[in-house]
Amino acid sequence: MTANIGSLRRALREIVHEQLEFRELLFQMTSRDLLLRYKQTVMGVGWAVLMPLLNTAIFSVVFMRVAPVHTPVPYPLFAYCGLMVWNFTASALRFAVTSLTANTNLVTKVYFPREIFPFSAVAVSLVDYAVAATVLVAMMAYYGIAPSSAMLLLPTIIAVQVMFTAALALLLSMANLFYRDVKYLFDVALTVWMFASAVVYPVDGITGWAGTLLRANPMTAIVEAYRNVLLYGTAPDPVSFGATAALALVLLPFSWLLFHRCEFQFAENI
């Protein structure tokens, strides 16, 4: 048992060290993907702001006029914060799922850590997330939401979300390489997952077994953690967010090791 744990630790150190050696390649891939995503578009990175703003406007009409809900802060601010957080993970996974199959020439002919492709998808979406965050800052100022000491926990929340998203990106990119219908199933699952993550409605209003399932969803804990530190000035719930952080800490090394163990089969399945 001890020997197995030791070997896993050594393997994990090796793949992390390899990733650090190829960090320049990760930067170049991220830069390339950013340029390709917004090439020949009028708005450029403005799309990172437009989509959450447009969705915020739509859900504001629904949950302020049609089916009003009570939120601790003005609903547009509540919704935009949730959509901004959700869009980071959703966008990263949407591009990561096809990141290996879309780069078949590089995967089969040149050696480098293949996880650079899904990691690049996460990094590109992180840039979009940073752009969208500037609008949240402006909205907080408009609605008079002042920063609090709870914001010191924000880097921890971002780190947990990045780890969780990167772990899923590794698993999905690998799964889609072996089973090409994964990307189609994922599009459906992503829509369901969004509405099961309390992105645009308060989770406190959901009770019974549905509320239990929503609270068990890791993305619900992440979205609520952001709202706590940014909008409410409180610390995240230690139980739900602590469980999500623990999941991310376990899932990322597991996904990374599994990715490397299956890597020798990638060329055969492309």
Mean pLDDT along residues 164-177: 94
The domains of the chain are located at 2-269
pLDDT in tens, 40-95: 666 667 777 888 888 899 999 988 887 788 889 999 999 999 999 999 999 999 99
Residue whose pair of structure tokens reads 């601790």 in the numeric block: 72
Q: What is the pTM of this model?
A: 0.90
SS3 of the chain: the string is CHHHHHHHHHHHHHHHHHHHHCHHHHHHHHHHHHHHHHCCCCCHHHHHHHHHHHHHHHHHHHHHHHCCCCCCCCHHHHHHHHHHHHHHHHHHHHHHCCCCHHHHHHHHHCCCCCCHHHHHHHHHHHHHHHHHHHHHHHHHHHCCCCCCHHHHHHHHHHHHHHHHHHHHHHHHHHHHHHCCCHHHHHHHHHHHHHHCCCCCCCHHHCCHHHHHHHHHCHHHHHHHHHHHHHHHCCCCCHHHHHHHHHHHHHHHHHHHHHHHHHHHHHHHHC
Please report the pLDDT score of residue 263 as a whole number.
Answer: 78
State what percent of residues in the chain have pLDDT above 70. 93
